[in-house]
């Protein structure tokens, strides 16, 4: 077929595409050179070649290849082209259109033409009957005068037909700036508003005066009308926007749409049902993150897998893991726990806040006047432990807490009582890679004060929340917490380094907040004077610990403050502590009401942090806590409204939770939910939160495709964008906390 543009071995002029939605477009490049000979197949298929088992024909100006049955490796059947030159440092764009008469996923490679056939570029398009247009931009890392382009078609038991057209490899292209398809300009919570909860939307428009809006029911009948509120240019998106408030409409139903400025929003419900599902799904996320145990297919259809890291080859851990040579004289059994994120590492620092937030979700629900603990009871998460009489959320948290205990340096060893900072592979692995197939050796990293205090905090908390369910476990945790506390006091400045290979650093050199958090948990559990004295003397006790950017694994003083405010205790200044939460909540509310997308998050300099979705949700956790303390409607409303942003009321018009909303994140960075790379693997389970917009775009894919992005636009639903689109145990904990709070409010008046 003829290419849509003149691109055969010469210069190509590409018109600049107009920027839309705050994203800068690629500039025209006058120096593009086409490197593919006869990529249109208008004159037969030469000089393309194939392995002898593949019959290639020219069909209607395309190349079609009949692949025989019974191939095993991808390279058992190939269609290829030789003599494609690559120059190191040059940027290239590979494009083609391909189809298959069955669901197939070939490997498309630009590679060394001779042994060892090193691939420098790999694309894995998912093909079916309708031709798919594939586009991949890359910068060559090698000089290769005669590389090969290969379409590797082997690996299917059945025979199939592959068709290819419009193959192009351009040298000298400009950056491939992502143009998000942001759909209708009316932005809503694509899942559901609570019947008696807040109902707000945002409209992207050039209009500067109020516009009429109309709320339609599923039959398209207008059920409410009003006028928008012009809000000017929103800093977090760079867009001119209006907001819509249709809170007063309270009738339950499905399939509502909001019509403004000639645009119709994605449909949504007015109902609380989705939040009951979401609180469960957000918590079910953890079972499939478990390490050291087979995931049961009957409990998670589509997600069953063998146990990871139990020393079955090719795994090399975690039953007896040692330190770096010379760093310790013992090995530890550190099987179990949750994989932190899309990698196979396990980290005490981040593991701590995650286990804490799950136990805290339970504890706060039992203390809350709107809390519905029976919804978080035994058997609600379909776990192997379901039916043991213990709330499933605690069973899940215990899985991690048991592992936290294993990371403690044993008595009799140097640094006894401290916790190793982390355990992970000694080198980074690629994607996809199932946990049980990870071949890297594992290593324990040196104990750190921060990890030790995470252990002290969660173990003290576990001693409290498990007391009713398992006294022996509670006692074991309290002993571990005391030993960790003493060890941290003795080694108050053992910091994990910021440099890290094979896993994340979770570095932190300011641990006064971890001391405060651990002391708070120990005090709440024991009531002992030593911890009370420590708390009252800590400068953090009177400081403003609620940052605009929210609490997170490195900044945990707010966790202490929230628990000291919510969990009954005998501190003399409890009234002031509780009031400080209300003050902070009112600040988040002020931020939210100024924000035309209703986000209670305004980080310094409009720099959205790695994992911003979790920061936004954690600020909603503070709002929810304030509602518990003061019973003021505005705090409940603020917490509920924060969810709108996560579920679609945002500049990208998408939900960040897999399985929720019309358009949702589903390619989060993970080595085993790697469907984008291998269609036999699943997407992340429903209820998985993506990290979200990250102004600093640290990964190369985001750097290429999001260059120049404005805050909310710094996100890509691509499995390789680990700095904007990972999944983690701490971020899902924020989601579970807020989803559970929203579900507890029932129709909004809970
Ligand atoms: O969530 C972490 C973020 O706050 C840090 O800025 C970032 C860089 O240190 O690391 C993030 O955590 C990653 C961890 O280091 C390794 N596992 C995946 C985590 C999520 O991306």
**540-573 residue pLDDT tens:** 999 999 999 999 999 999 999 999 999 999 999 9
Which is the closest atom of ligand 1 to the Cα of 728? 20
Say what percent of the chain tops pLDDT 90: 94
Q: Is residue 397 part of a domain?
A: yes
15 pLDDT more than 60? no
7 pLDDT more than 60? no
3 pLDDT more than 50? no
| Domain final residue, candidates 496, 514, 532 | 514
What digits encode the pLDDT tens for the residues 665-681? 999 999 999 999 999 99
Give yes or no: residues 404 and 307 share one domain. Answer: yes
Give the residue-averaged pLDDT of 53-67.
Answer: 96
Can you tell me the distance from the alpha carbon of 550 to that of 150, in angstroms, rounded to the nearest whole number? 48
Give yes or no: residues 627 and 696 share one domain. Answer: yes
What digits encode the pLDDT tens for the residues 380-421? 999 999 999 999 999 999 999 999 999 999 999 999 999 999
CB 32 within 8 A of CB 5: no
The torsion angles phi and psi of 79, rounded to 5 degrees, stand at: -115, 130
Structure-token match 């979770």, residue found: 506
| 230 CB neighbour count, 10 Å cutoff | 17
Q: Is residue 20 part of a domain?
A: no
Give yes or no: residues 314 and 414 share one domain. Answer: yes
Q: Looking at the DSSP assignment, which residues form a beta bridge with residue 422? A: 347
User: Is the beta carbon of 165 within 6 A of some atom in ligand 1?
Assistant: no
CB 521 within 8 A of CB 460: yes
Q: Which of 342, 506, 693, 697 to mutate to test the pocket of ligand 1 (most atoms within 8 A of CB)?
A: 506
| 208 CB neighbour count, 10 Å cutoff | 10
Q: Is residue 568 part of a domain?
A: no
Give the residue-averaged pLDDT of 43-63.
Answer: 96
Check residues 324 and 572 and name the one with the higher pLDDT.
572
CATH no. for residue 91?
2.60.120.260
Q: Is residue 522 part of a domain?
A: no
What digits encode the pLDDT tens for the residues 460-482? 999 999 999 999 999 999 999 99
CB 700 within 8 A of CB 724: no
Give yes or no: residues 267 and 284 share one domain. Answer: no
Counts for the chain of helices (H) and strands (E), in that order: 13, 27
Q: Locate 734 and state its tokens.
A: 């924020």
List strand residue ranges (DSSP E) for 124-273, in order. Answer: 132-139, 144-152, 160-171, 186-187, 192-193, 200-204, 212-216, 222-227, 229-233, 240-245, 253-260, 263-264, 268-270
714 pLDDT more than 70? yes
User: Is the beta carbon of 32 within 6 A of some atom in ligand 1?
Assistant: no
Give the residue-averaged pLDDT of 208-224.
Answer: 98
The secondary element (H helix, E strand) that includes residue 32 is strand 32-34
| Domain final residue, candidates 128, 153, 171 | 171
How far, in Å, from the CA of 496 to the mean position of ligand 1? 14
The mean predicted confidence, pLDDT, of the chain is: 95
Can you tell me the distance from the alpha carbon of 712 to that of 648, in angstroms, rounded to the nearest whole number? 12
Q: Locate 76 and state its tokens.
A: 């058992």
Q: Locate 103 and state its tokens.
A: 């669901």
| 722 CB neighbour count, 10 Å cutoff | 24
Determine the structural domain holding residue 462 and report its residue range: 279-514
Q: Which of 423, 504, 603 to mutate to test the pocket of ligand 1 (most atoms within 8 A of CB)?
A: 504
pLDDT classification of 106: cutoffs 50, 70, 90: very high
pLDDT classification of 750: cutoffs 50, 70, 90: confident
Nearest alpha carbon, ligand 1 atom 6 = 610
Give yes or no: residues 285 and 266 share one domain. Answer: no
How far, in Å, from the CA of 694 to the mean position of ligand 1? 12
Whole-number pLDDT of residue 31? 86
User: Is the beta carbon of 502 within 6 A of some atom in ligand 1?
Assistant: no
pLDDT classification of 111: cutoffs 50, 70, 90: very high
Whole-number pLDDT of residue 23? 35
Q: How many structural domains compose the chain?
A: 3
CA distances from 312 to 293, 416, 423, 525, 709 (A): 12, 30, 17, 40, 44
Can you tell me the distance from the alpha carbon of 440 to that of 442, in angstroms, rounded to the nearest whole number? 6
Which residues have CB under 8 Å from 160's CB, separation 6+?
Answer: 66, 67, 100, 101, 102, 104
Minimal CA–CA distance to 646: which of 712, 602, 700?
712
User: Is the beta carbon of 610 within 6 A of some atom in ligand 1?
Assistant: yes
SS (H, E, C) 394-409: HHHHHHHHHHHHHCEC
Can you tell me the distance from the alpha carbon of 706 to that of 324, in angstroms, rounded to the nearest whole number? 38
Which is the closest atom of ligand 1 to the Cα of 340? 17
Q: Is residue 311 part of a domain?
A: yes
Q: Which of 291, 337, 341, 555 to mutate to test the pocket of ligand 1 (most atoms within 8 A of CB)?
A: 341
Give yes or no: residues 508 and 376 share one domain. Answer: yes
Strands 268-270 and 192-193: parallel
Can you tell me the distance from the alpha carbon of 117 to that of 54, in angstroms, rounded to the nearest whole number? 20
- Residue 361 gets the label, from left (phi > 0), alpha (psi -120 to 50) or beta, of alpha
Provide the b/e sequence for 592-629 (b: ≥16 CB within 10 Å): beebbbbbbbbbeeeebbbbbbbbbbbbbbbbbbbbbb
CB 259 within 8 A of CB 213: yes
How far, in Å, from the CA of 283 to the mean position of ligand 1? 20
Burial degree of 632 (CB within 10 A; 0-12, 13-18, 19+): middle
Which is the closest atom of ligand 1 to the Cα of 552? 4
Report residue 174 CA to chain centroid gap: 29
What digits encode the pLDDT tens for the residues 164-189? 999 999 999 998 999 999 999 999 99
591 pLDDT more than 60? yes
The DSSP 8-state label assigned to residue 609 in this structure reads: P
Mark whether 717 is an active-site residue: yes
Give yes or no: residues 300 and 337 share one domain. Answer: yes
102 pLDDT more than 50? yes
Check residues 170 and 24 and name the one with the higher pLDDT.
170
Q: Is residue 206 part of a domain?
A: yes
- Residue 336 gets the label, from left (phi > 0), alpha (psi -120 to 50) or beta, of left
| Domain final residue, candidates 484, 514, 544 | 514
CB 577 within 8 A of CB 560: no
Give yes or no: residues 157 and 222 share one domain. Answer: no
Say what percent of the chain tops pLDDT 70: 96
Structure-token match 């579920």, residue found: 647
Report residue 413 CA to chain centroid gap: 38
| 646 CB neighbour count, 10 Å cutoff | 29
pLDDT classification of 12: cutoffs 50, 70, 90: very low
Q: Is residue 83 part of a domain?
A: yes
Whole-number pLDDT of residue 437? 98
Give yes or no: residues 334 and 397 share one domain. Answer: yes
Give yes or no: residues 265 and 293 share one domain. Answer: no
Of 726, 744, 746, 747, catalytic = 726
What digits encode the pLDDT tens for the residues 484-541? 999 999 999 999 999 999 999 999 999 999 999 999 999 999 999 999 999 999 999 9
17 pLDDT more than 70? no
Whole-number pLDDT of residue 26? 44
Tell me: cis bond preceding 314? Omega within 30 of 0 counts. Answer: yes
CATH no. for residue 402?
1.50.10.10
Minimal CA–CA distance to 110: which of 156, 55, 169, 163?
169
Burial degree of 278 (CB within 10 A; 0-12, 13-18, 19+): buried
640 pLDDT more than 70? yes
649 pLDDT more than 50? yes
Give yes or no: residues 419 and 354 share one domain. Answer: yes
Helix boundaries (H) for 595-656: 612-630, 633-646
Give yes or no: residues 258 and 338 share one domain. Answer: no
18 pLDDT more than 50? no
Q: Is residue 665 part of a domain?
A: yes
């Amino acid at each position: 077929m003829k290419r849509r543009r003149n691109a055969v071995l010469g210069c190509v002029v590409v018109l600049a595409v107009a920027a839309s939605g705050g994203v800068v477009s690629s500039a025209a490049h006058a120096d593009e050179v086409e490197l593919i000979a006869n990529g249109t197949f208008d004159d037969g298929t030469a000089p393309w070649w194939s392995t002898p088992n593949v019959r290639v024909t020219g069909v209607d100006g395309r190349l079609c290849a009949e692949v025989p049955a019974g191939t095993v490796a991808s390279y058992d059947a190939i269609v290829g082209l030789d003599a494609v030159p690559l120059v190191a440092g040059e940027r290239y764009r590979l494009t083609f259109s391909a189809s298959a008469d069955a669901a197939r996923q070939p490997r498309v490679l630009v590679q060394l033409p001779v042994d060892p056939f090193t691939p420098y570029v790999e694309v894995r398009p998912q093909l079916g009957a309708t031709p798919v247009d594939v586009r991949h931009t890359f910068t060559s890392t090698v000089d290769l005068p005669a590389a090969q382009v290969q379409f590797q078609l082997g690996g299917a038991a059945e025979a199939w037909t592959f068709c290819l057209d419009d193959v192009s490899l351009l040298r000298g292209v400009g950056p491939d700036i992502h143009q998000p398809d942001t759909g209708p300009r009316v932005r809503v919570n694509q899942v559901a508003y609570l019947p008696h909860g807040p109902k707000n939307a945002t409209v992207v428009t050039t209009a500067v005066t109020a516009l009429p809006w109309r709320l339609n029911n599923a039959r398209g009948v207008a059920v409410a009308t009003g006028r928008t509120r012009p809000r000017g240019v929103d800093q977090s998106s760079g867009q001119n926007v209006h907001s819509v408030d249709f809170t007063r409409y309270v009738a339950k139903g499905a399939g509502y749409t909001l019509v403004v400025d000639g645009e119709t929003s994605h449909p949504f419900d007015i109902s609380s049902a989705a939040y009951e599902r979401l609180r469960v799904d957000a918590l079910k996320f953890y079972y499939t993150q478990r390490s050291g145990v087979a995931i049961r297919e009957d409990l998670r259809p589509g997600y069953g897998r063998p146990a990871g890291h139990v020393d079955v080859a090719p795994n090399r851990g975690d039953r007896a893991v040692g330190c770096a040579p010379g760093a310790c004289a013992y090995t530890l059994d550190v099987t179990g726990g949750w994989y932190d994120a899309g990698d196979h590492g396990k980290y005490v620092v981040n593991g701590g806040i995650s286990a804490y937030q799950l136990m805290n979700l339970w504890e706060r629900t039992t203390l809350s006047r709107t809390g519905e603990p029976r919804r978080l009871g035994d058997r609600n998460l379909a776990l192997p432990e379901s039916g043991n009489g213990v709330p499933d959320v605690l069973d899940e948290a215990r899985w991690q807490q048991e592992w936290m205990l294993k990371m403690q340096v044993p008595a009799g060893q140097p640094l006894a009582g401290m916790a190793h900072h982390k355990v992970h592979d000694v080198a980074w692995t690629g994607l996809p890679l199932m946990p049980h197939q990870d071949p890297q050796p594992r290593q324990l990293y040196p104990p750190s004060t921060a990890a030790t205090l995470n252990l002290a905090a969660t173990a003290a908390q576990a001693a409290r929340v498990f007391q009713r369910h398992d006294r022996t476990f509670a006692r074991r945790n309290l002993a571990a917490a005391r030993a960790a506390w003493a060890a941290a006091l003795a080694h108050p400045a053992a910091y994990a380094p910021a440099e890290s290979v094979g896993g994340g650093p979770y570095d932190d050199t300011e641990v006064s907040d971890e001391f405060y958090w651990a002391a708070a948990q120990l005090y709440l559990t024991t009531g002992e004077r030593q911890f009370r004295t420590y708390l009252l003397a800590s400068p953090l006790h009177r400081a403003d610990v609620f940052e605009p950017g929210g609490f997170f694994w490195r900044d945990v003083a707010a966790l202490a403050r929230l628990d000291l405010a919510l969990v009954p205790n005998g501190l003399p200044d409890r009234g002031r502590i509780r009031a400080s939460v209300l003050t902070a909540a009112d600040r988040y509310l002020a931020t939210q009401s100024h924000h035309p997308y209703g986000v209670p998050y305004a980080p310094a300099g409009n720099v959205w942090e790695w994992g911003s979705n979790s920061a936004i949700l954690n600020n909603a956790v503070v709002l929810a806590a304030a509602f518990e303390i003061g019973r003021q409607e505005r705090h409940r409303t603020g917490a509920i409204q924060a969810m709108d942003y996560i579920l679609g009321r945002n500049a990208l018009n998408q939900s960040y939770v897999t399985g929720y909303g019309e358009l949702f994140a589903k390619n989060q960075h993970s080595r085993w939910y790697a469907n984008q790379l291998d269609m036999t693997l699943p997407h992340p389970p429903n209820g998985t939160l993506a990290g979200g917009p990250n102004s600093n775009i640290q990964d190369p894919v985001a750097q290429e495709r999001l260059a120049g992005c404005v805050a909310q636009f710094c996100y890509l639903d691509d499995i390789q964008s680990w700095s904007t689109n990972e999944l983690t145990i701490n971020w899902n904990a924020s989601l579970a906390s807020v989803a559970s709070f929203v579900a507890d409010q029932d129709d909004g008046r809970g």
